[in-house]
Amino acid sequence: MRYKDTTELEISSLLEVIYQKYGYDFRQYSEAHIRRRIMNKLRMSGLENITQMQSMVLYDETFSASLLQDLSITVTEMFRDPGFYRSVREKVIPLLKTYSFIKIWHAGCSTGEEAYSMSIILQEEGLYDRTTIYATDFNQQALNYAKQGIFSNKMMKEYTSNYQLSGGKESFSNYYISDDNNVIMNQSLKKNIVWANHNLVTDSVFAEVHLILCRNVLIYFDRNLQNKVQKLFYDSLIDGGILCLGSKESLRFSEFHEEYSELDKQQRIFKKKY
């Protein structure tokens, strides 16, 4: 029998308090990931121990909001992993073109860069006007940022390279206006995006959709929670719908592995069987 050390017990208690008070459930996130984030917050805050942090969570809303932000996953970029988006163009878009109206769920959209990337692809492939993208995240601060579509100018060189490597058909600069500090994405890219708060851990089926994109999120969940979310995705997809997980995720050990056929082994793109 494995006995938990004191720190593990304190973290478990802290996560329970966060769930009971604020409704955010990190209890089935990867233990190593959560421990790393919490210990880093402890050092940065100058607090003596996790018990003291728990007291702050109970009585200090500003600190609680900051901690919730730190526990959220917000690492993203435009056309992140260009090979993935090239595969979407080549293997997913032709399937989407067979539908008269398309619904896409971008689960865990963070600050929106990848949702805008998908909008660009859909425009270039002539599908945007018959598509609704539901871009969801449980981090309201990230969603508010995403809605604005304003990003740092410093990232544009990298984003432009990603776009070109992904098979972009235009000049990337056609999709935004810029000043010395920021770029603002074109309004036309936003008009069919519905931004919504949705928690993969605690919420139910969001919508019946043709395509789900959820990359670099499930790797932070433990096996039981991964299976729970995979059921959510399976129930949300139409028959023949597409699930895009990206190269860092896998269905191999999922309960739903046999329910999909593989469209791209490397990029982990799957089609729900009829």
Q: How many whole angstroms separate alpha carbon 94 and alpha carbon 187?
A: 26
| pLDDT of 73 | 66
Residues 6+ apart with CB under 8 A from 171: none
List of residues 6+ apart from 218 with CB closer than 8 A = 226, 229, 230, 245, 249
Report how far residue 220's alpha carbon sits from residue 135's, in angstroms, rounded to the nearest whole number. 19
Per-residue DSSP letters for the chain? -PPPPHHHHHHHHHHHHHHHHH----TTB-HHHHHHHHHHHHHHHT-S-HHHHHHHHHH-HHHHHHHHHHHS-----TT-SHHHHHHIIIIIHHHHTT-SSEEEEEET-TTSHHHHHHHHHHHHTT-GGGEEEEEEES-HHHHHHHHHTEEEGGGHHHHHHHHHHTT--S-GGGGEEE-SSEEEE-GGGTTTEEEEE--TTT------EEEEE--SSGGGB-HHHHHHHHHHHHHHEEEEEEEE--TT--STTSTTGGGEEEEETTTTEEEE--
pLDDT of residue 244: 97
Indicate the pTM of the whole model: 0.85
**Greatest CA span in the chain, whole angstroms?**
60
pLDDT tens, position by position, for the chain (274 residues)? 344 577 888 999 999 999 898 888 888 888 888 898 899 999 989 998 999 999 999 999 999 988 988 887 667 899 999 999 999 999 999 999 999 999 999 999 999 999 999 999 999 999 999 999 999 998 888 999 999 999 999 999 999 999 999 999 999 999 999 988 999 999 999 999 999 999 888 888 878 999 999 998 888 888 888 999 999 999 999 999 999 998 888 887 788 989 999 999 999 999 999 8
Specify the pLDDT at position 250: 82
Determine the pLDDT at residue 271: 97
**Domains present along the chain, CATH in parentheses:** 6-71 (no CATH), 82-272 (3.40.50.150)
